[in-house]
Amino acid sequence: MNRIEEFFKKKQNKILNVYYTAGFPGLEDTLNVMKALEESGVDMIELGMPYSDPLADGPVIQHSNTIALQNGMTIKKLFAQLQNFRKHVSFPVLLMGYMNPILQYGFEKFCADASAVGIDGLILPDLPEYEFENEYGAIIKKYGLDFVFLVTPETSDERVKRLDKLSGGFLYAVSSSSTTGKDKNMNDVAIYLQKLKNLELKNPVLVGFGIKDKQTFQTACDNANGALIGTAFIKALESDANVERATKNFLNEIIP
């Protein structure tokens, strides 16, 4: 069992996963933000590796990617920052990003380096199921990393079950087929999540896209194991130069 599986054995409900773009707002802010997130009660983190064309993300997270890249953040730099992060942070950490920069880095080297520093899993929205099964999945498994697939309201029940079987850690339920940061009709989201619950999936389900405050987080938790918050947190970091204070103030409004 890795850290994510051990976590879900201890806690099954009201799980809060926060997305944060590494190297934003300052290049050296990464570890400080991670520590502040854990100290504020966050259960796990989706650590974004900045990329010039983050297709699944809305303008706020795209902007944070641009700033981080301008700051000089790279995969190599990120792994250097994470070298000893497990001395300070104990919660599960997943890397979220896109295939192009990882392939340039070297896919197996990337997985080996991620595992070596203490990363628990990967979220790569543009890694197709076929390539995962026939090429990359075995490498990911070799280094003890979980891989999280995304499903949407348009994903067929058969495909949801298939992606659930391939996923490790949890299944990422995108609340609608749009980019991050857009408001969602939470009644529609609740119906969608109830449908997923009825499929009796093997993995816990966390819902993302449009979760931004205490109310939307609670609605997600009423119908799934928890939720992911990204855009709203990045906005909070933009509004206060002190990243520790911004993190704690934002999460005080989310976590009861």
The pair of structure tokens assigned to 135 is: 């090429």
The residues that are catalytic are 46, 57
pLDDT at site 181: 43
pLDDT in tens, 51-78: 988 776 788 999 999 999 999 999 999 9
Structural domain including 137 reads 3-252
pLDDT in tens, 200-246: 999 999 999 889 999 999 989 999 999 999 999 999 999 999 999 99
Q: How many domains would you assign to the chain?
A: 1
What is the rounded CA–CA span in Å between residue 100 and residue 114? 16
Nearest to 211 by CA among 248, 174, 245: 174
Report the CATH number at residue 82: 3.20.20.70
pTM exceeds 0.85, yes or no = yes
